[in-house]
Amino acid sequence: MKERVYLWDNLKVVLMMLVVITHSVNVYQLDGSYWVQYLWVFSMTFTMPLFMMISGFWFKPRELDYSLKHYLYPFLLFSVLNISLGTRCGAYPNGVVWTKGGWAMWYIWSLFIYNLLTPILLDKMGLRRLLLCSLVLAIVCGFRFPDNNIADIQRVVNFYPFFVIGMVLRKYQSRVYLMNQNGKLISGIVFTMAILSYLILCYFRPGFCYGTGFMHVHGLSITGFVSKWLNFALCVALSISVIALMPNRKLPFSKYGSRTMTVYMLHMSIVFPLCWVLLRPVMFEWYGYVLYIVGVPFVCAFLFNEKVDSIMKVILSLPDRIFNKCR
């Protein structure tokens, strides 16, 4: 029996908790609080790029029905749920954009597109050319206004290089697993320097880390072009550093690694009423901060529960059950 590599379970759990924390503090961004902006920067510089790398690392070509059942179906289901709940809770002050996924669901939509196109692209151009082309496309896509971002196409294109980098990393996985203390020390230094660089850039260049396009921040300029490449470089450096620093052994929370997709799909269903209804009226009171500090770990603990994961599996298996009954 093949030995389980706990590195990936540990990574997914830590990243998923950061995603829940980041999405739950969005309510504080209404006030433009600086501590929220910096927490958002710290988290999002590597959480979603690294999630994409992990998805690319474990990618393998599958049949169309697999992508329909595991990606398109949950994307549509939870987009409708998130948009409906978010609208009721006041999380869409500027109105709902139905041509985009419901909040966090863009990630599931991206995986659906990647799983459809990647086998074809790999067959046509190979891994190295695919990586180069994905980087070029991501840069070109940055020259679009985010208001014209139909079907989250900017995010889909922008995060594809990280997905491809994940496939590249699979070739060198043994080097990651056998990282010695010197390697981890170097990774820690790189991580610290990259985070500091990101925070400094965001301080002097507001908007550097926001959005997947850069025309709305810098316009059609050399500054925008360089910023985009620098953004990619920092995200990759941070992501690979986090992989190298993560313990590759069984930890108390390692068992939850297989449940992260359940948490990802469901967390906004609880974050909306908790943060946008209960927390928002009192968010700047002392007990509002207590509610946030207590509430977010509770959300994580609840969603990582085995029973919740079992219910989610039943929901996601509905297309199979319906199809089998109709045959």
Q: Are 89 and 272 in contact (CB under 8 A)?
A: yes
Q: Are 160 and 137 in contact (CB under 8 A)?
A: yes
Burial of residue 215 (number of CB atoms within 10 Å: 0-12, 13-18, 19+)? middle
CA 211 to chain centre: 13
CA–CA separation, 249 vs 197, rounded Å?
31
* DSSP calls for 142-201: TTS-GGG-GGGHHHHHHHHHHHHHHHHHGGGHHHHHT--HHHHHHHHHHHHHHHHHHHHH
CA–CA separation, 219 vs 239, rounded Å?
28
CA–CA separation, 38 vs 127, rounded Å?
35
* pLDDT tens, residue order, the chain (327 aa): 456 778 899 999 999 998 888 888 877 765 556 666 667 767 777 888 899 999 999 999 888 888 998 999 999 999 888 888 888 887 776 666 665 666 788 899 999 999 999 999 999 999 999 999 998 888 777 665 545 456 678 888 889 999 999 999 887 765 555 555 667 778 888 888 887 877 777 666 655 555 444 444 455 566 667 777 777 888 888 888 888 888 888 999 999 999 999 999 999 888 888 888 888 788 778 777 788 878 888 888 888 999 999 999 888 888 877 777 766
Which residues fall within 8 angstroms of residue 260, CB to CB, at 6 or more apart?
A: 12, 13, 15, 16
User: What are the structure tokens assigned to 91, written together?
Assistant: 């999380």
Record the pTM.
Answer: 0.88
